Chains A and B, each alone.
Chain A
């Protein structure tokens, strides 16, 4: 027998525990801080529901982003894909009474618009995945190209104008309630649960971790790396499409400028939530906490009447701090 002992052979790893769940502490800290600063206004049920509803689109996209970042990639195109899905979905959901109706005389069930939005998102994501897997283009570059091109597609398709006067059944996705809970929150929760199961309980999810943890070792272990790239980028595209449908339904119009800059919020959420740019590390619940923190900061700064300009400075600082923490964790 050998006498060596593993480095971390402790009964309870306090430092590890704190590191792992520090993010929840930070979330609670923000909540307490804001509750105090706004004299309880922040904690009102209506306000909290608002925060979560506002964060649901970012959160859904951040969930896709989590898969990509765990696999050591990045997807910059989600905001533009979101816009394409929003205008395509809206164009098929316009009521006959719409003044700028795109397809005159066309009246389809709302579900067609919704599914079309999802499909077009998934399709553009598949293109991203093919560029990365088939042509070995770095994800940053491939999705940078898609970011620009897809925004252009959204503008061309819509003629640069918002497509409004949508079917109420379509708008229900963004505006409706199921009991006391807004539909976007329910969708967000369902996506989160499914994504969590996918990441932790399926072969695909484990392969994503292996690929991000050590690509060479993953290949040697017989993992088809191309398939993972196709899978994760199609998934982020699909989720961006879903967010596009939700946002256009929320405002009742498909605006080709929707989702500009949302990729940065999504990346921020994932990284605050502990997903590592070095790959192989990340959780869905962490990302959700990250998205909530972003939402709370936005909401809190609004409640405190901080100027939108200042808000950007604060958010920027938070991103950098989150990444510094991430770097230290990996040392």
Chain B
């Protein structure tokens, strides 16, 4: 039986520690079509594609390519089978030329197995001519703009002459003109019988170039639809349409006076003219798509990166924050997004990890007050029910949820008025998740003000008193708890350009 599908992925599942990233997902792609994958952050799109190219292994399921079942243990095999991918995070080698980057790992060889640079550059030029890309093959990657870098990545993916080209948000970094260029390229590739799998958040693109749309939600397949049968509202409904069950909602807290007021904060492209107020007892949610600037706002407030302009008032007093210590002294705390990269000190004990930010309070003359440290850390461990055999245990041996609790303790010990939490429950199992939500409610009831950045819609809706939706470095809108719906937030997050389409 001949297969009308070029690619069939059936019953694909993938677990990460604490997360069910993909649950029995199917995907069927026809040759000569553009097939969009859509869904919220963390819905499983990128994970599925990484399984397809061999970057991740799946926990179950089959992949059938042109009627033959295949296994793809690594990306080399994937490329060999005719599958290439443009990744969302670009990874060029900056100190090499454009041509060297494109042919990396498959350099044309001359006599004595020396690299044939002449051929390499000529091949690159031919590739660029064919696709009308105006970049010098001999230029160094480090001298290229982000948009040019993106075009090189696109050219590289095409140069494999793959049957399937996966594009993970290829237009997030390029301008309108280059988007048109890319869309032209995609139409040509399509005419050549290639299949393009296209991951995007941009609605307008979907209806311009896409033939089929497969929607994911929470690692599960919602369905595959011809793009012609969809419209913007239908698509949003499919993406977000989940019930808000088994969520721990925020308990009522008395909302008090304004404690933090931010005016016209600016830093680069990702923090543009951000102004808002935060009150005691309030949980202020920050929603938005990845790269919308939410994390950057927190980092700027906390002095990890310096603001270019803007004013911060705490309790009505203007404060200047040049480094995290200034922020801590002003009563701010920041629980960062990436637990491993900027949170835990893996080889240090739970006690050291807990006390680190508050250490000056516990060592007035530079000498540690060890009993006080021990007592207060024990107290935190009890209050947050952190599971660790002892405070001497290395934090890297704890589960993600318990590591997160230790980090929350780290900041609570600084006795902050304002707690900023970036993705409070990312990569944490359901039990610990609701404990952390309960804790946040409790802290709000004690009069702390909380800013929560979250990419999980139920968390944003369940926990926030107000929701700031960011888009492209700016505040796209502020939604009150009573008016907040997933559709509304999604609409503000995808921005005005999408609404116009």
Contacts and interface: CB of A to CB of B under 8 A. Distances in A.
Given A4-B431, A222-B325, A222-B357, A276 B389 contact: no
Interface in A1-42: 1-10
B429 A7 contact: no
B344 interface: yes
Given A201-B370, A213-B348, A218-B356, 14 more contacts: A4-B399, A4-B402, A201-B367, A203-B359, A206-B352, A209-B348, A213-B345, A214-B344, A217-B343, A220-B334, A220-B342, A222-B323, A278-B347, A280-B346
A280 B347 contact: yes
Given A4-B399, A218-B356, A213 B431 contact: no
A83 interface: no
Interface string A286-330: 000000000000000000000000000000000000000000001
B109 interface: no
B81 interface: no
A5 B402 CA distance: 10
Contacts of B105: none
Contacts of B402: 4, 6
Contacts, number: 114
Given A218-B356, A222-B324, A223-B356, A8 B432 contact: no
25 contacts: A2-B401, A2-B432, A4-B399, A4-B402, A6-B393, A7-B397, A8-B389, A202-B363, A203-B368, A207-B359, A209-B345, A210-B356, A214-B345, A214-B346, A216-B341, A218-B345, A220-B302, A220-B336, A220-B343, A222-B324, A223-B325, A224-B325, A279-B347, A280-B346, A281-B347
Interface string B345-370: 11110001001110110010011101
A7 B400 CA distance: 11
A276 B387 contact: no
B164 interface: no
A21 to B, nearest CB: 15
Interface string A257-286: 000000000000000000010111100000
A3 B385 CA distance: 12
Contacts of B328: 222
Nearest to B370: A201
A221 B368 contact: no
User: Chain B interface: which size bin?
Assistant: 35 or more
A136 interface: no
Main secondary structure of the interface of A (DSSP, over half): loop
Given A214-B346, A216-B342, A220-B334, A6 B397 contact: yes
Contact of B346 (A8, A213, A216): A213
A100 B343 CA distance: 59
B356 A206 contact: yes
Contact of A9 (B346, B366, B389, B429): B389
Contacts of A201: 367-368, 370
Contacts of A223: 325, 356
Contacts of A278: 347
A73 to B, nearest CB: 16
A2 B356 contact: no
Interface residues of A, number: 35
Contacts of A204: 366
A280 B389 contact: no
A220 B344 contact: no
B342 A6 contact: no
A280 B360 CA distance: 20
A258 B342 CA distance: 43
B345 A210 contact: yes
Contact of A280 (B327, B348, B388, B432): B348
Closest 3 CB pairs of A and B: A213-B345, A2-B431, A203-B363
Contacts of A281: 347
Contacts of A210: 345, 348, 352, 356
A165 to B, nearest CB: 42
Given A2-B387, A220-B302, A220-B336, A209 B352 contact: yes
A219 B352 contact: no
Interface string A192-231: 0000000001111011011001101111111110000000
Interface string B389-409: 100010001110110000000
Nearest to B435: A2
A1 B347 contact: no
Contacts of A206: 352, 355-356, 359, 368
A221 B324 contact: yes
B156 interface: no
B216 to A, nearest CB: 27
A219 B410 CA distance: 14
B182 interface: no
A180 to B, nearest CB: 33
A6 B397 CA distance: 7
B304 interface: yes
Contacts of B398: 6-7
Contacts of A209: 345, 348, 352
